[in-house]
Chains A and B, each alone.
Chain A
């Protein structure tokens, strides 16, 4: 079983890095639907793999020079609090309900991965609160450092709390929700949103991982092939990223996620998970 789980995890890591969606969202369905692992063990293993990809790719993201550590740290107050709430909730909500919520999140992810990305111009002016918090910064565009503003701090902060709850409840990175908060609410440049999101995903996942560890959800024999597989897969993924067309991969990935979403919903509603 260890070898098969490892191979599945390599596939998840590969697809996750090629599409930029992260592999976390497919680990739990893979373990529960294919390997019939109890969803609680699956969430524990997935959370660990999310931390691995976030920390492992941090250096590569940082080198590009887009991430904003102040925005990241400020919003982490919301995501870590949310993650702890999510981890506690998971102890009280039945596994069937967790599977249904998971299915809904998968549908949203499938939609996000095929939706054409709408380009918007980043904000040039900032709200008073954003300035007070020293959030506006600069980012490189064709060798030049451009200034950008920050909008709707309270809206972004609240949505980050939701991202944290989902991360803690489902064992996923919630990168898509994090980018949504920074991209659409705070109107940050897209590159700043994605790289800062990577920075936050690991910290958010660590906030719920501690609680899961103490509750006995994290099994080393199950998590071992998942972590090593996802890391290996995403490493290969980043190596071939520049050479492949990601559009067709995105469509393939979203079909996979869509099918997994149906399965999770069906299993949740029928009480099989």
Chain B
């Protein structure tokens, strides 16, 4: 069942790509903090005394549930919409990482992993479109 070790993958090449992706993700997270923070600054002054109860689950309004609606609401300057758009960007950051990996594996001509990465991307797209 066991075989001897074969030469390893091109770790150096992998590593360079990973460093780029890692920095890209960090920039995205900083962007998320700015967007969500902006929404919070718009929201809190007029709603600070508001005690929203999360004790009972009602579910979010439809305007805060899909990619298209969230972007539309954020565009109109609504504070909740802006915060939700920031959170949406946050959900997209790991997906961005997967998209980048497709190109990285293509660049390395590792077609088996291009296929694997596309499968993962398909699963993520299925989820983001509402399942």
**Which positions in A face B, CB cutoff 8 Å?**
1-2, 31, 35-38, 40-42, 48, 51-52, 54-56, 58-63, 65, 67, 69-70, 73-74, 76-77, 80-81, 83-84, 87-88, 124-128, 131, 133-134, 136-138, 145, 147, 149, 199, 202-203, 205-211, 213-224, 227-228, 231
Contacts and interface: CB of A to CB of B under 8 A. Distances in A.
Question: Which of B9, B104, B123 gathers the greatest number of chain A CB atoms within 10 Å?
Answer: B123
Interface in B82-131: 83-84, 87-88, 90-95, 97-98, 101, 104, 110, 112-113, 116-117, 119-120, 123-124, 126-131
Contacts of A58: 21-22, 25-26, 97
B124 A62 contact: no
A206 B124 contact: yes
B14 A69 contact: yes
A79 B118 CA distance: 15
B5 A147 contact: yes
Chain A interface, >50% SS class? helix
A208 to B, nearest CB: 7
B9 A80 contact: no
Nearest to B83: A220
A41 B3 contact: no
A59 B26 CA distance: 7
* Interface footprint category on B: 35 or more
A139 to B, nearest CB: 8
Interface in B1-31: 1-6, 8-9, 11, 14-15, 17-19, 21-23, 25-26, 28-29
Contacts of A74: 113, 116
Chain B interface, >50% SS class? helix
Contacts of B26: 55-56, 58-59
B130 A214 contact: yes
Contact of A65 (B15, B104, B128): B15
A149 B61 CA distance: 50
Interface of B: 1-6, 8-9, 11, 14-15, 17-19, 21-23, 25-26, 28-29, 32-33, 36-37, 39-40, 43-44, 47-48, 51-52, 54-57, 59-62, 64-66, 80, 83-84, 87-88, 90-95, 97-98, 101, 104, 110, 112-113, 116-117, 119-120, 123-124, 126-131
Given A77-B116, A136-B5, A211 B25 contact: no
A69 B26 CA distance: 18
